[in-house]
Structure 1
Amino acid sequence: MNDIAPEGLPTSPRRPAGVTFAASLAFENIRHSYHGKETIRDISLEARPGEVLCLLGPSGSGKTTLLRIAAGIEAQTSGRVLIDGRVVAGPDLFVPPEKRGVGLMFQDYALFPHLSVLDNVRFGLTAMPAKAAHAEAMVALERVGLSHYADKFPHALSGGEQQRVALARALAPRPGVLLMDEPFSGLDSRLKDTIRADTLDVLRQSRATAIVVTHDAEEAMRMGDRIALLNHGRLVQLGRSQDLYRRPQSLFAAGFFSEINRLQGRVRHGAVATPLGRGDASGLADGTVVDVAVRISQVMVSESAGPIRARILTRRFLGVVELLTLAVDGLDEPLRARIRADQLADGLTDVTIKVSDGDILVFEKAD
């Protein structure tokens, strides 16, 4: 970790994070309803000891509700929650949050404004003697490089510094599982990458199991050892970032990890013919109507080298890249492409495109 704060202020040398006895956390057939509406639909999922598991999905997908069920803030309608194989929530048992051995880090940091930074971190150490709690809280602040702010109050800190205090407070009791609800959403883009990297470094050093809620696919790929993609209260796909990106199991998964062009087609002899090329549809019956996706970054555009002619309709310069919309024969809607900036000459309208067959993704139509 750096010895310079993201805000540019020097920090005290950071102490390596104390090792935590990482625990597993498992959801077994979890269901949850709110005012008669089902918000979690039979999810089974496990965070392994020492891993960072990201719960990813759009607003309303159930990810925060699942986190609150793990923490004991919310009770499931049915199913069980287990920590290290021990049931902490089930049909006949409900262990309160303070006895589950989990740490919580909220989206708004939830620091107490009337307490000093040190007392905020020490707040969860009430079971320890005062002197030991003071020492442990200082160690936690040293881990995040803020021990020199121990006597300050939260209002005197920047957003990034408050985030690090919240992390120190969550890790001070050395929980077996750390639960983080969109912990970086309140930070501006200038700080987010640095704070996120520092947080991940602390998690790796402490070896705590972490479950992180996010709606940002790139953030999930940066942080997670595995990603659980949720939608409408269901687990859509679980795996490493490269698995979800390269082998999405649904049109929803493909579109969540990258911008896509969406087409439709019909299976003929194990393939789908489109104006952009042929997509593999092995295993699907002839005549099946399917959804087809092509990532906008996989549309190759050139002046004359591609096999398919197109005309540029719009062109937007975004610095490193340009976004194009293109008219292509056989397509009812304009095709979108993301290309390297200045790849094409100014004023060019007639171009050619190419899409590799392997980049044409075919999915059964969702119900």
Structure 2
Amino acid sequence: MNISNDENPSLLARIAQTKRPDLVVTIGYGDELPVFRHARALWQFYMCHFPGIEVIFVRWSDKLKRGEVMSDGHDLLVGIGDGFQGEAGYNNSGVWSQSENARWIYRQVLVQDYLLRTRDKPFFLYQTTITSVVDFRGLCTVLDHLAPVNCFAGPLGRLTAPEVFNGLTFVSGASALMSRDVLLRMRERYDPHHPFATVPNDIWQAAVLDDVPRQALPTFNFLKPRAPRADGAYLYQTAQWLVREGHYHFRIKTVAPEDAAARREDIDPWIMLRLMEAVLDSEHLPQATLALVDKVQRLADGGAGQPVAPRRAGPLHTGPRDFAMNDNEIAYP
């Protein structure tokens, strides 16, 4: 991570000097829910404070031919054509249908192919969601300590069912880091006709990368239902505390789409705004981030702090945990 050493620059000026030329951030979203469009507007504001970080918003386009990819400013447009017709489940249930999963994986492969074709040097790809907030200073600190090859890292989970996926360790699609060589392997192994190409994209990634160890990294989830614009001061103060504790990725998902009593677009963007304000008002403490990463890695598979096998029987997380992973684990004053 390169940060300017100008004499006595302001906090925002120092944040704006955060640079990582070998990092590409992709944020994919669609028009399934209004919350995604509201979150995009917030990201448009937020990324102005990190001009040295390349952020690409991935979107569908009905004006491009199927499989065609075109760069349009900060957007990368992907043509979908009339393929992948089927049930649109996310609007109603909050769960992607098989056809939606297949479409998202198809788009992901096209985007990664575009990045591989337009970049010859090694780079990291960071995939996150439009309803996440990322402190890129913390992410860059993590990257300073990761090898630029064979990297597949992020918050980990482990499946116990169905049997074909029993023991499979996956990296959350909300915060996934991959090196260029790993992207090459995924592109080579993509088979749109394989049954795995209809599962959620983070499970598909884990299945095709069955020879790549996983590296555990932290995340923090805001899940607690709240009223619109509620708890602003609490959210701001909590986020500042979390940044001091070393956190850098925050996912916000408080309301399921099927919950007719509350509209996520009226709640989550307000939480995102408070978190963005807190990040921009907080100093980054590299040692805190590295200490948190060490804690997370020592929770996985026996506490050795080493990369995790792609597949292994038994629980993923073992031993006591002394840090919160979501806002349901923090006492409200």
TM-score normalised per structure 2: 0.28
Which one has the bigger strand percentage? Answer: 1
**Structure in which a larger fraction of residues adopt helix:** 2
Report the TM-score, using the length of structure 1 for normalisation. 0.26
> Who wins on radius of gyration, i.e. which is larger?
1
